[in-house]
Amino acid sequence: QRKIKLYYKKSGRLLPWRIKVRKNQDPYKTLISEIMLQQTRVKAVLDYYKAFLIKFPDIKSLALAREKDILIAWAGLGYYRRAINLHRTAKIINKEYGGIIPSEKIVLRKLPGIGEYTSSAIASFAYGKEELVIDTNVERFIQRIFNIKQDTSKVYKIKELGEKLFPKKKRSDFAQAIMDFSNDYCTKLRPKCNTCIISRYCDYKS
> Does position 150 have pLDDT exceeding 70, yes or no?
no
> Does position 159 have pLDDT exceeding 70, yes or no?
yes
* DSSP symbols for 66-110: -HHHHHHHHTTS--THHHHHHHHHHHHHHHHSTTPPP--HHHHTT
**Cβ–Cβ < 8 Å for 28, 40:** no
Residue among 34, 104, 130, 160 flagged as catalytic? 34
| Residue 116: active-site member | no
| pLDDT grade for 36, boundaries at 50, 70 and 90 | very high
Which range, of 107-111, 113-117, 137-141, 155-159, averages the lowest pLDDT? 155-159
Report the pLDDT value the prediction gives residue 77, as an integer from 0 to 100: 92
Mean pLDDT for 31-37 is 97
The pLDDT tens digits of the residues spanning 163-195 come to 999 999 999 999 999 999 999 999 988 999 999
Report the pLDDT value the prediction gives residue 205, as an integer from 0 to 100: 78
The reported pTM is 0.91
**What's at 116, amino acid-wise?**
E
